[in-house]
Amino acid sequence: MSQVGATQPVARYERPLRAGRSRAFQDASRHSQRVRRLKRFIVFASGAAVIGLVGVTLLDPFRKLPEGVSVGQTKLEGTRITMELPKLSGFRKDGRAYEVRAASGVQDIKTPKVIELKEIDARVSIAATDSVNASAPIGIFDSGRDFLQLRSGDRAGAVRIVSTTGYEIKLTNADVDFREGIVHSNEPVAVRMPNGSLSADRFSMADNGHVVTFEGNVTSEIWQDKSDIAPLAPEAKP
């Protein structure tokens, strides 16, 4: 009888202890489930944020187009945007406007200020009524520097600069700094003017077209304007 009486208090304490352990285990299990759910939510939310960021970058890439750029139809391939009939415009230091148009252009959203252009036609005002037009098969425009590269591609000498004052320049490539009003080329150049022609190995144009410099094997031919020549008086007959 003494043995039975000794085990009864132990049994009374073991039941609450087992119940407490069970509740603690259940609480720990619920906590672990909450932690796992929270981890899954964090992973999901992070993934959604990344996907959203990529989606904004890829599906709304035109927010990265530089200021002063307008385009026609567009197409996205990877990170490159192909655009039809892009038009880029801006202002030089003197406040005069410039405009660059092209048949098509390509922009990488990783370098949004740089646009590759095809069939370029650029126009720059140099005076109240005078302007210069530049055209080229291909080129690159950097809106961050207001800088345009004109290149002939596989059509040698296809870059043309024409002024409303009457001269035409043909060359293989040229760099145009709209901000500073400078045009420069290290390639041979051929110039046709109203009263003659000129060729050289290099040329540069500064001060918005008012100063033009030719260097290297410069040759020129000047045609006399016959309208400035007074007619000779007829010889007196004896």
CB 218 within 8 A of CB 209: no
CB 215 within 8 A of CB 200: yes
pLDDT tens per residue, the chain (238 residues)?
445 454 555 555 555 555 555 565 565 566 566 656 655 555 444 444 444 434 433 444 444 555 556 666 778 888 888 888 888 888 877 778 888 999 999 988 888 889 999 999 998 887 667 788 999 999 999 988 889 999 998 888 899 999 888 889 999 999 999 888 888 999 999 999 888 999 999 999 887 677 888 999 999 898 876 555 455 455 555 4
Contacts of 131 by beta carbon, 8 Å cutoff, 6+ apart:
123, 124, 125, 163, 164
φ and ψ of 201, to 5 deg? -80, -30
197/223 Cα distance (integer angstroms) = 9
- Identify the pLDDT of residue 87: 87
State both tokens at 76: 């996205």
DSSP tag of 167: -
- Identify the pLDDT of residue 17: 52
Between the two ends of the chain, the Cα-to-Cα distance in Å is: 178
